[in-house]
A and B are shown apart, each in its own frame.
Chain A
Amino acid sequence: MLCALLVLALVLQDRLVAVLDVPVLRTASTVFVAVCVQAMPFLVLGVLISGAIAAFVPTGALRRLLPAKPALAVPVAGVAGVALPGCECASVPVARRLMQQGVAPAAALAFLLAAPAVNPIVLVSTAVAFRDAPLMVPARFVGSLLTAVVMGWLWTRFGKAGWIAERALRRLPERTGTSRWAVFAETARHDLVEAGGFLVLGGLFAAVFNVVVPAAWLEALGAQLLLGVLVMALLAVVLALCSEADAFVAVSMTALPLLPRLVFLVVGPAVDVKLVALQAGAFGRSFAARFAPVTFVVAVLSALAAGVVFL
């Protein structure tokens, strides 16, 4: 099957290149490869951490580290996101591994949302980008953490374990006789193959939106605050920029006031097309269909709240 596909692609190479020789398609294919290439190192970092947790951390150890009460475990897990330097692609496999290790789903989800936005690398790049508006950094930190904690609490209150695909929660069978390194390599490989496919899917969406959404809209928006907030929130979802770069994009949108740009920074790492594809892969479609829209609303509101306080 694979061989057949490869031979077919080789045979049709010239035709394929000719078809793609339209400016729009060339741009889209470049953006597609760029998103994939940019995200792969972070995904690999994530699956290696995930594999290491599976192989070397005893089941239940992480759960014992967190407070027993979910209401308390959620904010602790959110703040723990500071420790995972990387963008959102790394946090999905790690969050899933946390669930499999017995961490309460609410806490794992809070970690999932917080990690890409509150880690030091992202905060420093935000500070560098917004040299003239240093309050963007605490505003982003608080807005993102608030999003993560509120989502964790909402999950504690309303979430149903049944929405998460069974495969995401299944404990790893205790393999006696297999070395830990073998477990590590096999888990990392398995996570990589599975999440990688969804990452590519997300990259495809991002590339399509990148050429379809007219960037010229933005310039016309000007000072219409409410519209600006909405459009920036949607733009964060469809552009799927990595959280280390989005601040530089936001700072260049000088036509807009700071608040819509803060919304862009808070929504992006919590919910974007690439991330939704990864979540659908890791936790199942029925989970992603519920989780992503609610996260979107909560992230916008959290960003507005943080903006009112800091900006």
Chain B
Amino acid sequence: MRRETQNVLLVLLGGALLKLAFSGTYLRYVKESLQPWLVATGAVMILLAVVAIVRDLRRGPTVKDTEDTGHTEDTGHAGRSPWMLLLPVLAVFLISPPALGADTVNRSDRNAAQEAKPGNGFAPLPADQVVPLTLGEFVTRTAWDDSGSLNDRNVRLTGFVVRKDGRTYLARLMISCCAADASPVKVLAAGRDLGGLPDDQWVEATGRVVPGSATRDNAYVPTFTITGVTPITPPEDPYEG
């Protein structure tokens, strides 16, 4: 592969990373804390490519030719591998893959939040009429909080609609590093028919837990009796941390 092509590819890849970082779409793939690193990485890539381009131009054709033979020898073996760099560039600029959703949730029977430590105790919930909770915290409390702090409390959950085996769930994905390690957390929807909403539709749902519904046998998926549901646009960060 020619040196010029390599440099152009580096500029494109660096540009793709900067685009992700500045447009906020990076949140579909990685955690918020990676943003400054993505900016730095994109900048370094472009800088390295520009330095090489400028040096090549300055040295003029004669010197460059001898340099080039040295490099074709060097990259001769790995030859075509740099072409792979084009794939993420095309993926980011043309396809822009969406955040993970229902398909990923249905690939596992696990319910991620169940592992939180029962021994640590749970802070009391605020006294509001309706308590906003993340799905992760909600599921963890239903599975491990013996004090029944959620019973008879109205909570508001944010997630997307998922269907499996004729049941409807409200779900969200938790990531600890990037989307490759996503694990699902979900509640079984009851009380209101969500039939009109397609899979992956984001909603805010208000309702109550059915006490004792999260058991070992159902992988700690609690039943959530929904009293009110509002379709919403997907949140900027689709994942829970």
Contact = CB atoms under 8 A, between A and B. Distances in A.
Interface of A: 1-2, 5, 9-10, 13, 16-17, 20, 23-24, 26-27, 29-38, 40-41, 44, 48, 129, 131-132, 165, 167, 182, 185-186, 188-190, 192-194, 196-198, 200-201, 203-204, 206-207, 210-211, 214-216, 218-219, 239-242, 244-246, 248-249, 251-254, 281, 284
Contacts of B100: 27, 30-31
B176 A249 contact: yes
Contacts of B78: 167, 194, 197-198, 281
Contacts of B49: 189
B81 interface: yes
A132 B118 CA distance: 10
A216 B108 CA distance: 5
Contacts of A37: 17, 20, 26, 29-30, 34, 38, 88, 178
Interface string B86-102: 11101110110111101
Contact of B178 (A9, A34, A200): A34
Interface in B8-59: 8-10, 13, 17, 20, 26, 28-30, 34, 37-38, 40-41, 44-45, 48-49, 51-52, 55
A193 B183 contact: no
A197 B34 CA distance: 22
Interface residues of B, number: 68
Contacts of B48: 185, 188-189, 192
A252 B183 CA distance: 8
A244 B26 CA distance: 18
B167 interface: no
B120 to A, nearest CB: 8
Contacts of B10: 189, 192-193
A185 B52 contact: yes
B38 A41 contact: yes
Contact of B115 (A20, A40, A197, A251): A251
7 contacts: A27-B103, A27-B104, A35-B178, A40-B13, A193-B10, A193-B85, A197-B78
A219 to B, nearest CB: 5
B166 to A, nearest CB: 18
A2 B5 CA distance: 7
Contact of B44 (A2, A44, A198, A214): A44
Main secondary structure of the interface of A (DSSP, over half): helix
Contacts of A216: 107-109
Main secondary structure of the interface of B (DSSP, over half): helix
Nearest to A215: B108
A24 B103 contact: yes
A254 B114 contact: yes
A34 B29 contact: yes
Nearest to A241: B181
Given A193-B6, A206-B180, A248-B177, A30 B98 contact: yes
A218 B109 CA distance: 10
A185 B51 contact: yes
> 6 closest pairs, A vs B, by CB?
A245-B177, A248-B176, A197-B81, A34-B179, A38-B178, A34-B29
Among A36, A210, A219, chain B packs the most CB atoms within 10 A around the CB of: A36
Contacts of B112: 252
Interface string B43-82: 0110011011001000000000000000100110110111
B98 A26 contact: yes
A199 to B, nearest CB: 8
B103 A201 contact: no
A31 B179 contact: yes
B44 A34 contact: no
Contacts of B44: 44, 48
A211 B182 CA distance: 12
B192 interface: no
B84 interface: yes
A197 B91 contact: no
A2 B107 contact: no
Given A200-B85, A252-B183, A23 B91 contact: no
B179 A281 contact: no
A214 B13 CA distance: 32
A137 B71 CA distance: 44
A244 B180 CA distance: 13
Given A37-B29, A38-B177, 12 more contacts: A9-B90, A17-B94, A20-B95, A31-B100, A31-B179, A38-B180, A41-B34, A189-B10, A192-B10, A239-B180, A242-B177, A249-B183
A212 to B, nearest CB: 10
B91 A33 contact: yes
A252 B52 CA distance: 46
A124 to B, nearest CB: 13
Contact of B45 (A44, A131, A132, A214): A44
A269 to B, nearest CB: 13
